[in-house]
Structure 1
């Protein structure tokens, strides 16, 4: 059915190009995989290779496929070996990486008389032996580099910087041109990488500054905030690309980790009274301070007790106008907070106060305070948290940066109150925001001349 030329072409692709059984069949369109396995095994080169003598690249590919979930039997059929060999390669690769698959059979070996060496002259023989010696030296130095950078690396995937290290180790013994040719490295690339290695890490100082800022921010700042802080450093401002900051934070593992927990408590107790209209309609923007306020209540589960926070947020710049923390979500908490907020108003200021439909904002005391001080009430639709999204967003930032992933064991209510007060002061005075031109709410108001 297939001519000798067809068989030779298929088997040559397998032995000379390092292609798998499946790839050979896919390229040529013939024969079946099982037939090609038989052709490979009947070829003299298969017998000469000896049982288990496969190239390092072949072993690595087979091990990776087996570890990825492919059937060892299917992999073995393509490679032309036994399934037990594939399993053994996979175990070695998983435990020791590529180095575990290296053996004497993978290294270049001196030529034998049967290879035609007897027909070579003395100079040619010396040159061939020198080439083999160089190959062995390259393999030896490559293994050293791999041991430094980790056993999971593949020799075929050495970076130019790693290749440069190999060249530096062998250039005095074999000459620069010979080693560069063996490593497949251009002379210009070699000198560039050598200069980079000699110069060291040019971002070493920047890395340290980024680490300090990340810790200073409580390990919650992202790369944009860190980038802005570097530029705003009064003592030593630094102009650097956002991409560089992002890359360095990724390399150093400086990633904010937020633990989001489902909301287990709700202030909604049913329709106690007629709800006012939603005057905000999800437009949480204000042209001036004390024009639009938001409020809500959130719960903190502590070590043996719970407490509730009720703040008033100004939509002009996100400032926390007033807040109360209470061990009980009662009327005294919400009404006391509202009175504290009203005390900050100037003559003629009568903001809209927007909330959800929680019971705190339906009680007679709350309604009376709003009426006495000219506050216009506004409420979200029933069970619609996006209608008060800005307040929910504030709680999200607060808990991500201050509460989640912190150890609160043994922290009393009074200690928690002190720490929360310190954070909210930071939030108003020193926590910068992109929407405010990388200023805090207090700094932003000062820049506009709204406060002294």
Structure 2
């Protein structure tokens, strides 16, 4: 587990178990499954006073930004020196130059310096199977170039005129089809569109269908959100559980219930588990899970969206069961002065007790971590 990546939120909470809660560093390292040198490195980094730590992070961030800016300016200067003679050439000539230099410089930077769209370049570079597809890809490159040069405001009619001026015999309906396939649209002004409130933006099919017993880790995850009362205000907790062992593999806590809350929890799960195949991620139809950001994240990481039917609380019973345990065994026994205290205590429950120590009836009365360890030991012995 020492090679795993952990988000900063996890590291800070782990350090506070040593600095604020009185646990020994070896005990915290053992329960979290990280090496002691790694934990001591976190302590060294995050136990500084907040102003000093923020100043240190700010300075290092500024240095990184300046280095990146210097690298960008240097590369752009080199590109201009090499490509000055092709800047006024036709688009295909500029595409050929980009192809010759893409091993040295990022493609997007080359495209920006050559005043072409990256999608148009990749369309030019592709080799479709049929002549019709090849012609469509060539036209699409010209369409994107025209759309880019218009500042993203041209629709298919004006772009069709641009193509005719270039000598292309292409009808407006073909331009419309190609633009629709690529999601290119004209700028439509400032009028407000009509909305239908009360319905989620994206609804996924229920892939889980209450099949809560799976045969191996990383086949199905469930996720949900709950709230925790503090004197400072509400603290919202999002978790991701693996149905195989009921282990909490991802979590995030924030003062706001938004899409970033659930995305951070899922990102932690992806970092910790690094699944090799598709994983079902089941949720309710809340606005956080039906957002386009959530769906885009799932698609980018090979995860399969699954959603409960509206009004059916049983489809996400595993996550609800965990929240009941958390509140019964820890939260209702405490009165939190602020969100920081609640965050520290919830971390302690999840990572120091529930995952590595608490016996779970579903996991043959061993802890979720131990249950998975036994499973992998059986695989190795076969």
Which TM-score band applies after superposition, normalised by the shorter structure?
0.3 to 0.5
TM-score, normalising length from structure 1?
Answer: 0.39
Larger radius of gyration: 1
TM-score, normalising length from structure 2?
Answer: 0.46
